[in-house]
Structure 1
Amino acid sequence: MAGTLALTRAELIRLMRNKRYFIFTVMLPVVLYLIIGRSVKATVYGVSFGAFYMVDMAMLGAFSGALNGNAIRISQEKKDGWIRQLRLTSLPAYAYVVSKVLVSMVITVTSIVIVFLLGRFFGNVHLSAWQWLVTGIVVWFSATIFAALAVAIGYRIAPDQVQPVTMIMYLGFAILGGIWYPFSGVLGKVSEFTPTFQGVKIGADIIEGTSVAAGYAIGLVVWLAIFVALATLAVRSTGETV
């Protein structure tokens, strides 16, 4: 366990030095909230636009960090032989994947806290202590499940192809999930099946003080199971061929 935590710490330090990762995870949501957060006077999902957009941008930064930061690096490290080298050490077989997931869990928390602070002091979003906490946990869980998808992509896709594949996934879940703009009609119905929408909608319901639809919570668990299954298959396949 100590070796896994040491590897996690090293991964976290390396990731924090990645400027591209910092831009997508922190800077983009912050800039968008500063530009748009107070400019729209409307309600979305029963809450003020400022509160909705705060949850929206927290989700954008958090799930972007969990997905983009891991997939590209895993693919490159697999090609470079880093994963093979780790297997020759005394570290347990699961240490590499666990370290990636743990780093995602830490980074997503950082992104969420920054955006929430911006919402509170710039967007004038006022919530009770439990609403801040529970909404943050919901966004954190909804975003962290993408770390499993990142593992699946990183193990399966070659380095020269992983960036466009990851970007397609990122844009797909962001756009279809209504992160950039909430949909209505047919697209709105499609959005409801995405984990990005489900996380934001649950967060909005918590802020509004209404009951949370069980279907959205179940949906997040289903997506987690799907992503974990894909990651498990990818890792096992690689273990058989590397």
Structure 2
Amino acid sequence: MTTTTPAFTRTPRALRVPRKGISPTMLRIEALRQLRNPYTLAFTLAMPVVMYILFGASAAYGSQSAGHGNVSFYVMISMAAYGTAVAMSSLTSLAATESKQGWGRQLAMTPLGTVGYALTKLITSVTFAALALVAVFTAGVLTGAKADDAWRWVAAAAIILGIGLMYGLFGLGVGLFFNADSAAALASISMTFFAFFGNVFMPLDGVMLSIARFTPLYGFVALSRWPLTDGVLTTGQADPLWMPLLNVLVWLTLFSVLVVAGVRRSRTRR
């Protein structure tokens, strides 16, 4: 005798929710949500601009020559790189904490799939990183930041946005590994800490410079400044190109390991 599966045990094809890649509605809501978030506006957009104005635009030495431009351009690149790192790390950490809090189960009831959700978060993070860069560069244009050639502006911006994506891995790993309530703050505070000890906010020398070369932001910011300085530091020393490249490669690997460890840790909590 032939048996058939009861109809109520099969999901009718007409009732299956088709999955979408990126939802424009979700992207718009996410962007507006971050724009209404005072934490995001303060640390991602406002802080790099304010720090540039304090240490680059309003400083008496801002118009002095530095490499293929002036000191204001040097400080502008540093602050734009810092703002990009903070934007990528803090916003991706929020995505990781939302996933741990069960947002994925809610998404399963909507047409937006996991890939679409991840892409939405990534696009939002990159957008805010780009906004931070544009804000600092605009402040630089208005306050006398100069480079010898226009391509140096473009090259610095491309390096900042391209390599700055790696800090999305850092934020994702922090969000997965640590408590959801503190992950975003920890990610952005860590970037500020790394900036102070990574030759980003102030020129370092001697032992502090030697230590800085091993920190997560040193290679990224050094490469961002390369179109201006060709690797020459404010102390007169010069870094060979392989040094910041190696720094970036090592920390990219370590951030990837942090993400893997965070995934495993988040699974053990369930």
Fold shared by both chains (TM-score > 0.5) = yes
What is the RMSD of the two structures over their aligned residues, measured on CA atoms?
Answer: 2.9
Q: Deviations over 1:55-99 (max 9, x none)?
A: 111112111111223324642x24542123224545443333333
Equivalence for 1:54? 76
1:4 is paired with a residue whose SS is coil
Pairing 1:140–2:161 present: yes
Equivalence for 1:228? 256
Unaligned runs of 5+ in 1: none
In proportion to residue count, which structure has more helix?
1
1:37 is paired with a residue whose SS is helix
Q: Which stretch has the larger CA shift, 185-194 or 89-98?
A: 89-98
Aligned positions of 1:95-134 closer than 5 A: 95-134=116-155
Return closer, same or farther for 1:73/1:109 CA change in 2, 3 Å cut-off. Answer: same
Contact (CA 8 Å) 1:120, 1:126: kept in 2 or not? no
Question: Aligned partners of 2:154, 2:253: CA distance in 1, in Å?
Answer: 24
Deviation at 1:133, TM superposition (A): 1.2
Equivalence for 1:27? 46
Equivalence for 1:12? 31
Unaligned runs of 5+ in 2: 1-18, 233-239
TM-score by length of 1: 0.83
Q: Which stretch has the larger CA shift, 187-196 or 23-32?
A: 187-196
Question: Aligned partners of 1:168, 1:59: CA distance in 2, in Å?
Answer: 15
Deviation at 1:213, TM superposition (A): 0.6
Query: Equivalent of 1:69, from 70, 91, 96?
Result: 91
Equivalence for 2:104? 83
Deviation at 1:122, TM superposition (A): 0.6
Question: Aligned partners of 2:243, 2:126: CA distance in 1, in Å?
Answer: 24
Pairing 1:175–2:196 present: yes
2:181 is paired with a residue whose SS is helix
Identity of aligned residues (%): 24
Equivalence for 1:3? 21
Larger radius of gyration: 2
Query: Equivalent of 2:177, from 143, 151, 156?
Result: 156
Contact (CA 8 Å) 1:45, 1:201: kept in 2 or not? no
Q: Deviations over 1:187-210 (max 9, x none)?
A: 211212234222222232211356
1:50 is paired with a residue whose SS is helix
Return closer, same or farther for 1:149/1:209 CA change in 2, 3 Å cut-off. Answer: closer
